[in-house]
Amino acid sequence: MNRRMSGALDLARWVAALCVLFAHTSGSMVALYADTPSAYRTFGEKIWLLLNGFGHISVTIFFVLSGYLVGGRLLERARHTGSIEWKRYIIDRVVRIHLVLIPALVLTFFVDKMLAHYDPTFIQRHFPRNTSWTIFAGNIFNLQNFYVPFFGSDGPIGTLANEFWYYFTFPLLLAPLLITRPRRERVFLFVLGLVLCLVFWWPQHQHIWGFLIWGVGVMVAWLNRPLLRSVPFSVCIFLIVAVLLRAIVRREVMQISWYLFVSDVILSIAFANLMLALRFATDPERTFLYSPLHSKLAGFSYSLYACHMPLLFLACLFCKAHFGFGMGDVVTHSSQWLIVAGALSAILACAYLISVMTENHTKAVRHCAYRLLKVERVTRPDGPGEASFPKHPALGQEPG
């Protein structure tokens, strides 16, 4: 993976995570623009309206990125070697998800208890059926929003369950490519993949639609040439599509599932086109994408996504109790934006500290799991489209 592509993916990750935080702050801490009296619809409110409207778009981008980085690498290995390192792959995916998910659930438990200090009825009013230990266990097994609710006040972890099951459904659907395995085994794995699709489609129909968006990211790794070679032109197309969808896809129309799916497909194709242009870019000139800042900010984007919601509710109640502003209130004075900025800064700082204790140790935990389960160490490819895999005798010459 070239440095420009790597920097662009890191940039997309941290910007998308920040947009999700802004979107959830709107309505939680700051009143929605539609609920703001015209007298208080200032320039600052309009800037805020623009910033907080990219939450759903950001989740779509996360799906495409995941499809490229995880599914794309898996597809490359299956095509080039006719096999999948199942044990290593399962360890990688489980560690990546649960190293942050479990601490996020524990954090949610304690933060929800702290919310009672400011408002004893907050959890009972908003999340009355989300606090049992059964639901906690269901979330550990990534059944949230399928067969159990998300735990406590941490709504965003619902999409982590979608990601988790995409990780384990996709390699099963790749079974026809695993020609190093017996035919009967390949048929069994492929049928199992279809069964998993049905099991999670039944309680949540949008799961399969999200899987298709995830698959768009996989296609970025599969295609061997860009749709458009010009990176600046691809950036312009993506930004225009994102802004147009931000203007068109309002909160009320997001309830129309097919409309939302079509807009997600359009956005994912525009973003995939940009990723392809970056992947095949040959311009050696340094750009702002080479900045190590992107890698550092992206390094805690997962922790921010998984933990920000309970922290946001705590910030809302704290600010309301101490400053008289912070629970879906209308901004009546510019100084109140400082309260919002302070709360968001505190949440970002907490997410960073959580990442230092969790996702920053992903590689170390994986290697520990490899040793415990006696998984051989192998040289990893840099990323989709950049792999150099050993050839299997059954495959003949390695595909180009």
CB distance 25 to 344 below 8 Å? yes
Residue 395 lies in a domain: no
At residue 178, the pLDDT reads 93
More reliable by pLDDT, 19 or 379? 19
Mention every residue, 6+ apart, whose C-beta is less than 8 A from residue 227. Answer: 273, 276, 277
pLDDT band at 392 (very low <50, low <70, confident <90, very high): very low
At residue 253, the pLDDT reads 55
Mention every residue, 6+ apart, whose C-beta is less than 8 A from residue 133. Answer: none
Residue 266 lies in a domain: yes
Residue 325: strand, helix, or coil: coil
Nearest Cα neighbor of 359 from 100, 9, 106, 93 is 100
DSSP conformation class of 26? B
Alpha helices in the chain (DSSP H): 3-25, 43-51, 55-66, 73-81, 86-118, 122-126, 133-140, 158-173, 183-201, 206-222, 231-248, 257-279, 292-298, 301-323, 336-357, 362-372
At residue 76, the pLDDT reads 92
pLDDT band at 319 (very low <50, low <70, confident <90, very high): very high
pLDDT digits (tens, 9 = 90+) for 115-173: 988 998 999 889 988 989 999 999 999 999 999 999 999 999 999 999 999 999 999 99
Residue 74 lies in a domain: yes
pLDDT band at 286 (very low <50, low <70, confident <90, very high): low
CB distance 232 to 221 below 8 Å? no
More reliable by pLDDT, 120 or 381? 120
Range of 178's domain?
3-375
For all residues of the chain together, what is the average pLDDT? Answer: 88
At residue 252, the pLDDT reads 55
CB distance 301 to 16 below 8 Å? yes
Looking at the chain, the whole-number percentage of residues with pLDDT higher than 70 is 90
Nearest Cα neighbor of 70 from 84, 50, 59, 80 is 84
CB distance 277 to 2 below 8 Å? no
pLDDT > 80? residue 324: yes
**Alpha-carbon distance values, 90 to 72, 98, 165, 345 (Å):** 16, 12, 12, 35
Average pLDDT rounded to a whole number, residues 185-189: 95
pTM: 0.90
Residue 398 lies in a domain: no
Average pLDDT rounded to a whole number, residues 65-80: 93
* Domain count along the chain: 1
Residue 384 lies in a domain: no
CB distance 308 to 297 below 8 Å? no
Residue 394 lies in a domain: no
- The residue to which tokens 């059944």 are assigned: 143
At residue 393, the pLDDT reads 37
Residue 222 lies in a domain: yes
pLDDT digits (tens, 9 = 90+) for 27-55: 899 998 888 888 888 888 888 888 888 88
DSSP letter for each residue of 41-82: --HHHHHHHHHTT-HHHHHHHHHHHHIIIIIIHHHHHHHHHS
Nearest Cα neighbor of 28 from 383, 340, 335, 266 is 340
Residue 400 lies in a domain: no
Mention every residue, 6+ apart, whose C-beta is less than 8 A from residue 151. Answer: 105, 108, 109, 130, 131, 135, 136, 138, 139, 144, 157
Q: Which residues of 51-66 are buried (b: 16+ CB within 10 A; e: fewer)?
A: ebbbbbbbbbbbbbbb
